[in-house]
Amino acid sequence: MSSRPVRRARRALDAPLALLVAPLVALVLTGCTALGPGGVVEQGAAAVDTTPLSELDVLDDPREWTGETVARTAETPVAPVADDPQPRLPVTVTDAQGTEVTVTDTSRILALDLYGTLSRTVFELGLGDRVVGRDTSSTFPEIADLPLVTANGHELTGEAILELAPTVILTDTTLGPWDVLMQMRDAGIPVVVLDPHRSVETSGDLVRSVAEALGVPEDGAELAERTQAEVDDVVAQVAELAPREKADRLRVAFLYVRGQAGVYYLFGEGSGADSLVESVGAVDVASEIGWQGMRPVNDEGIVAAQPDVLLMMSKGLESAGGVDGLLERLPALAQTPAGENRRIVAMDDSQILAFGPETAAVLDALARALYAPESVASGAER
Amino acid sequence: MTATAPRATRAALPDADPSPLPPTVPARVAWLFGGLTAALLGLAVVAAGSGHLHVPPAEVLGGLARGLGLELGPEPSHPNGYAALWTIRFPRVLMAMLVGAALAAAGALMQGVFGNPLAEPGVVGVSSGAAVAASATIVLGVSVAGPWTTAGAAFLGGLVATFAVYALARSGGRTEVVTLVLTGVAINAVCGAVLALFTFLGDTQEREQIVFWQLGSLNGTRWAYVAIVAPLVVVGLVAAGAMARRLDLLALGERSARHLGVDVERLRVVAVVVVALLTAAAVAFCGIISFVGLVVPHLVRMAVGPGHRVLVPASALGGAVLLLAADLVARTAVPYADLPIGMLTALVGGPFFLWLVRRTRRQAGGWA
């Protein structure tokens, strides 16, 4: 895959011994050749490298790497902040749209959004056993058996929701049609709308809003704190990995591609991608040129931005025919360092911009893919 | 009196039909109306009884009776059965009927007033005109008239588009088919471009709503929307019915109609306004659903002849049946999913349109 010089420590492999000697070896070994792809046998989600960030073999210059990488988070089981939370109800909240909603019963919860963040939050709050359905993006094992209420990708189905007889619906505006949610309000089900604008900085607020609407504000505060602490920890560790000088930092563009019909969106300020990129110590080229929100980008825009790395959603990349298909369809990419080096970091569509309780894990996985691609390189093989 | 096919308005060409169409047969008309009404009621019950959440037919009737304040029949056994019926299905069934009736009647009216069998709100661009204006209110965040804003904008857009078609496609007092269709192509192209621009400008949610306009769907119909659409459709249908006799006279040709005391220009203008009203009512909350206004009036004409006094109400009834059936398929064909209904009607209507073109070509040597 790569034969670039790396400042490396042999990674902790299967043998526990390796784990012990790893830090030592890190000091000794420099510039050794790359591990062959067969060097580590990795299968499925279990394959995710869990070496602490600080012990990773980091590239001398993160630009000196060719090839695509798939960033994966380790599958972490739900770790509720409370075992048996006791919601204090009824609770009246003013939701993100300014609507006053009174929640009187949280025995049957539906939490739906584009990334599955809200459902994960409800589970982390310890209210998972009350969740009665899920959206397509919620796929963690604890929820995977529940019935779907989104059809056709991300379209809500009114009757499927009513069939589950939820007593409260938490959602944001990323799933539609909006009228279906209005129908649910017509049917007497309280619908709490949360802020659809996500970022690393606001993930705590989101957790708090969810908890408040479900009558467990204390647990919410605890979870928000935990989330924030985890994020802060990762951000601090990443800061050690990332180049100190701003000029040396990776220039990253978040490119959203869907299908082969020329849908190329560049995600900029306020899309969440900006805060994600900055949190992993890279420079968001879209915000640099003042790109607002999520908008289609043309060839010249991509060339002018000169990204070193493209951040993409895995299924999006797949739908464009993988890296080869993408480069073929977007020849302008070849004029950028990212295209020249095939330096594309893909991550699961439902994770990369989720910004929920798993934010820290996402940042961690991205940092590995950016600064120590060696540790996740086998992902590119699939 | 004997009404002739709208095609015959082009007096310059000889009528290719071997004989004028026979006068409307009362028995056939009675059968048609009886059949359509029965089909409509039957379908309504089936539609109200089918869906993702299972409610047995007896409980559907029980739920209906309870909603109307009667203690009859069994109560829906699912805790949300009643809510599913009253907040999702009944408004949707009613909306399908209203929109189908509006589109088919608008089609019949347009064909009569343009003297042209291909006139149809979707084909000539009235629907897309309405959709553009409606999306404009979404993207630009206009809400001057509350929930009526979108419907009002759709009406204005439809009106502008209809008048544009009318003004551009007519020359020398008649509407040539080719000119009409080409005008429709142009208007649809312009509207498509503006919709694309709005798609570009809008955020994710607005984008989704615009895509929804373009495909057409009855998913998410609420009583509030039915309450806006219903009066518009009723007014439009009454007005269309009131014009039927004069449209029959117009079918004799403009001059003959004038001699028989019809104020032709006024009739046309009023008809255009009514077409815009009906189309806007249909488009305002359900997006562009094409070909209903084309297929239904033609089928009705085949059954009972072209007299407008029968054609307009029968088309309205037939349109209601067709769209109710189409919507039933749209929401039950694929479990969980809601197919875009505009896609379904176009899938059926497109080939029908082609067949119509070819048939007319054979009979009348084309419209060129």
For residues A142 and A46, membership in a common domain is answered with no
pLDDT value of position A344? 93
Three-state SS string over chain B comes to: CCCCCHHHHCCCCCCCCCCCCCCCCHHHHHHHHHHHHHHHHHHHHHHHHCCCCCCCHHHHHHHHHHHCCCCCCCCCCCCCHHHHHHHHHHHHHHHHHHHHHHHHHHHHHHHHHHCCCCCCCCCCCHHHHHHHHHHHHHHCCCCCCCCHHHHHHHHHHHHHHHHHHHHHHEECCEECHHHHHHHHHHHHHHHHHHHHHHHHHCCHHHHHHHHHHHHCCCCCCCHHHHHHHHHHHHHHHHHHHHHHHHHHHHCCCHHHHHHCCCCHHHHHHHHHHHHHHHHHHHHHHHCCCCCHHHHHHHHHHHHHCCCHHHHHHHHHHHHHHHHHHHHHHHHHCCCCCCCCHHHHHHHHHHHHHHHHHHHHHHHHCCCC
Considering its fold, how many domains does chain A have in total? 2
Q: Which tops the pLDDT comparison, A277 or B14?
A: A277
pLDDT tens digits, one per residue of B253-272? 888 888 988 888 889 889 98
Do B337 and A155 count as a contact with CB atoms less than 8 A apart? Answer: yes
Any chain A CB within 8 A of the CB of B207? no
Q: Which of A108, A112, A159 to mutate to test the interface with B (most CBs of B within 10 A)?
A: A159
Residue B30 counted as domain residue: no
Whether the pLDDT of residue A168 is over 80: the answer is yes
Quote ipTM for the complex: 0.74
Any chain B CB within 8 A of the CB of A155? yes
Any chain A CB within 8 A of the CB of B221? yes
pLDDT value of position A48? 66
For residues A290 and A330, membership in a common domain is answered with yes
Residue A340 counted as domain residue: yes
Considering its fold, how many domains does chain B have in total? 1
Query: Of A165, A173, A293, which is closest to B80 when you measure between CB atoms?
Result: A165
Q: Which residues of A touch B337 (CB under 8 A)?
A: 151-152, 155, 157
Residue A11 counted as domain residue: no
Any chain A CB within 8 A of the CB of B219? yes
pLDDT value of position B109? 93
Residue A163 counted as domain residue: yes
B279: domain CATH number is: 1.10.3470.10
Any chain A CB within 8 A of the CB of B140? no
Whether the pLDDT of residue A235 is over 90: the answer is yes
pLDDT value of position A297? 84
Min Cα–Cα distance to chain A from B83, Å:
5
pLDDT value of position B26? 78
pLDDT value of position B251? 87
Query: Of B53, B209, B336, which is closest to A151 when you measure between CB atoms?
Result: B336
Min Cα–Cα distance to chain A from B203, Å:
8
Three-state SS string over chain A comes to: CCCCCECCCCCCCCCHHHHHHHHHHHHHCCCCCCCCHHHCCCCHHHHCCCCCHHHCCCECCCCCCCCCEEECCCCCCCCCCCCCCCCCCCEEEECCCCCEEEECCCCCEEEECCCCHHHHHHHHHHHHHHECCECCCCCCCCCCCCCECEECCCEECHHHHHHCCCCEEEECCCCECHHHHHHHHHCCCCEEECCCCCCCCCHHHHHHHHHHHCCCHHHHHHHHHHHHHHHHHHHHHHHHHCCCCHHHCCEEEEEEEECCCCEEEEECECCCHHHHHHHCCCEEHHHHCCCECEEECCHHHHHHHCCCEEEEEHHHHHHCCHHHHHHHHCHHHHHCHHHHCCCEEEECHHHHCCCCCCHHHHHHHHHHHHHCHHHHHHHHHC
For residues A250 and A357, membership in a common domain is answered with yes
* For the ranges A221-230, B71-80, B178-187, B214-223, the one whose mean pLDDT is highest: A221-230
pLDDT tens digits, one per residue of B29-76? 899 999 999 999 999 988 988 887 888 878 888 888 888 887 777 878
Q: Which of B85, B139, B206, B219 to mutate to test the interface with A (most CBs of A within 10 A)?
A: B219
User: What percent of chain B clears pLDDT 90, i.e. is strictly above it?
Assistant: 26
Whether the pLDDT of residue B21 is over 70: the answer is no
**Domain end position, chosen among A215, A233, A261:** A215
Average pLDDT over every residue of A41-65? 68
Any chain B CB within 8 A of the CB of A178? yes
Residue B283 counted as domain residue: yes
How many CB pairs (< 8 A) connect A and B? 91
Query: Of B51, B217, B222, which is closest to A186 when you measure between CB atoms?
Result: B222
Query: Of B200, B204, B219, which is closest to A177 when you measure between CB atoms?
Result: B219
Query: Of B51, B86, B222, which is closest to A182 when you measure between CB atoms?
Result: B222
pLDDT tens digits, one per residue of B134-157? 888 888 877 777 767 877 888 889
pLDDT value of position B365? 52
Any chain B CB within 8 A of the CB of A153? no
A53: domain CATH number is: 3.40.50.1980
For residues A71 and A97, membership in a common domain is answered with no
For residues A44 and A96, membership in a common domain is answered with no
Any chain B CB within 8 A of the CB of A292? no
pLDDT value of position A107? 94
Q: Which residues of B touch A134 (CB under 8 A)?
A: none
Mean pLDDT for chain A overall: 82
* For the ranges A21-35, A92-106, B160-174, the one whose mean pLDDT is highest: A92-106
For residues A297 and A350, membership in a common domain is answered with yes
Any chain B CB within 8 A of the CB of A157? yes
Residue A235 counted as domain residue: no
For residues A40 and A130, membership in a common domain is answered with no
Query: Count of CB atoms within 10 A of residue B129's CB?
Result: 31
pLDDT value of position A47? 56
- Domain enclosing residue A103, as ranges: 91-215
Average pLDDT over every residue of B336-343? 81
- Domain enclosing residue B110, as ranges: 92-364
Residue B36 counted as domain residue: no
Residue B235 counted as domain residue: yes
Kindly give the pairing relationship between strand A294-296 and strand A263-267. Answer: antiparallel
pTM of this structure: 0.78
- Name the pLDDT band for A234 (thresholds 50, 70, 90): very high
pLDDT value of position A152? 67
Q: Which of B78, B87, B285, B343 to mutate to test the interface with A (most CBs of A within 10 A)?
A: B87
User: What percent of chain A clears pLDDT 90, i.e. is strictly above it?
Assistant: 42
Whether the pLDDT of residue A251 is over 90: the answer is yes
